[in-house]
Amino acid sequence: MEKPLAIEKESFEIIKEALKKEHSALELPIVQRVIHATGDFEFEYLLKFQQDAITQGIRAIRASKAIFTDVRMVEIGIDKRLLRHFGINTYCHIADNDIVEESSKSGLTRAELSVAKALNRPKDAIGIVAIGNAPTALLKLLELIETNPHITPTLIVGVPVGFVKASESKELLYNSSLPYITCLGTKGGSPVAVSIINALLKLAVL
């Protein structure tokens, strides 16, 4: 029986052989890991990287800056061993009592309220924001950054999935000057966000 690491290594080699585009040394591990998690080679074309995004993400990880996620599924999927290695805390406020209560009163989604709460921290705590599920979270993030110059995440991993506002929110991110990793269109999701973060963590070890 093949061991899990051997299976993963073989899978990554198969993916690398099947890729059609040229990818930089930093982009390739991310593309491979996303395709490995989704089984979808279209991500080779859908994934988009702002010029310095990967370097910025690695820098944030090595500086032990926190990672904020829109949903628990993303937070849970991040490699805990590597988080401990770098001394990184993760935060997700989607199920906090105050967020649930405010959402029921205001009509705003828990996702957008939780992003606002996560970013209401000291500047030096803002590291990577990983949004894998909720387009409203990404839209709120972009709104907050536009109206509050002091909000400066080191990297935005914005890959929400769906048919309502997902494509639009990612298009806005793609057309911004912010440090981002995104994927265009309706595809995306928590497994994509997790794959990107875990690839960055592994790159930071090198």
Assess whether 36 carries a catalytic annotation. Answer: yes
Give the confidence band of 38 by pLDDT, cuts at 50, 70, 90. Answer: very high
Give the residue among 170, 190, 194 at the shortest CA–CA distance from 182: 170
Give the confidence band of 1 by pLDDT, cuts at 50, 70, 90. Answer: very low
Q: What pTM value is reported for the model?
A: 0.93
Asked if 129 and 156 count as a contact pair (C-beta separation under 8 A), the reply is yes
Give Dmax over CA atoms of the chain in angstroms. 55
Give the residue among 90, 101, 136, 88 at the shortest CA–CA distance from 115: 136
Positions of E strands within the chain: 47-49, 67-69, 90-91, 128-131, 155-158, 180-183
Where do the domains of the chain lie? 46-205
Task: Give the active site residue among 23, 36, 85, 150.
Answer: 36
Which CATH entry fits the domain spanning 46-205: 3.90.550.10, 1.25.40.10, 3.40.50.10230, 3.60.20.10?
3.40.50.10230
91-118 pLDDT, tens digit each: 999 999 999 999 999 988 999 899 989 8
